[in-house]
């Protein structure tokens, strides 16, 4: 099985603390300073209560599979990686996020399974790491 492609994410200064954390191997999300909501996808304010400030907070990186599909067809460089798992993972802290669960046997990944975050480096052509992508693996 070929590893999943690591497409570089578009530059998004609003979410820089998330990307900086991922690059250091930590799952960092904004937590609302007013209502305490853990916000996914990362934003610099709270879309739940509209409060203007958040605290970027390192989370456990642990969660469970909430929903999952196994893709058997994909275009371009993703084709070689099929079959692969796309899932919603529910983090221990609450939010559900769309992600990949990387497993040797995709069919072994089921709803309710415990998973943990992994951070996959995205490298420039000169091999300097610029970012890391958040994915998960069975825990």
Interface residue list for another protein (CB under 8 A)? 4-5, 7, 9-10, 12, 14-15, 37-43, 46-48, 66-75, 78, 81, 83-84, 86-88, 94-100, 107, 111-112, 133
Our CB check for another protein shows the closer of 86 and 116 to be 86
Our CB check for another protein shows the closer of 39 and 117 to be 39
Our CB check for another protein shows the closer of 46 and 117 to be 46
Q: How far is the CB of 40 from another protein (least distance, A)?
A: 4
- Cβ distance 70 to 84 under 8 Å? yes
Q: What is the DSSP string of the chain?
A: -PPPP-PPPPP-GGGHHHHHHHHTT--EEEEETTT-PBPSS--SS-TTT--S-EEEEE---EEEEEEEEEE----GGGGGG-SEEEEEEEETTS-EEEEEE--SSGGG--TT-EEEEEEEEEE-TTS-EEEEEEEEEE-
Q: How far is the CB of 100 from another protein (least distance, A)?
A: 5
Our CB check for another protein shows the closer of 95 and 121 to be 95
Q: How far is the CB of 83 from another protein (least distance, A)?
A: 8
Q: How far is the CB of 118 from another protein (least distance, A)?
A: 14
């Amino acid at each position: 099985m070929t590893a999943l492609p690591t497409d570089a994410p578009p530059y998004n200064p609003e979410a820089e603390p998330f990307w900086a954390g991922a690059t250091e191997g930590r799952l960092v999300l904004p937590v609302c300073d007013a209502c305490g909501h853990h916000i996914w996808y990362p934003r610099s304010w709270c879309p739940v209560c509209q409060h203007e400030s958040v605290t970027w907070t390192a989370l456990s990186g642990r969660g469970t599979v909430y929903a999952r599909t196994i893709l058997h067809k994909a275009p371009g460089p993703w084709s070689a990686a099929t079959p692969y798992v796309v899932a919603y993972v529910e983090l221990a802290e609450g939010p559900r996020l769309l992600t990949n669960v990387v497993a040797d046997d995709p069919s072994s990944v089921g709803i309710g399974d415990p998973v943990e975050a992994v951070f996959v480096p995205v490298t420039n052509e000169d091999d300097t790491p610029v970012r890391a992508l958040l994915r998960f693996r069975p825990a």
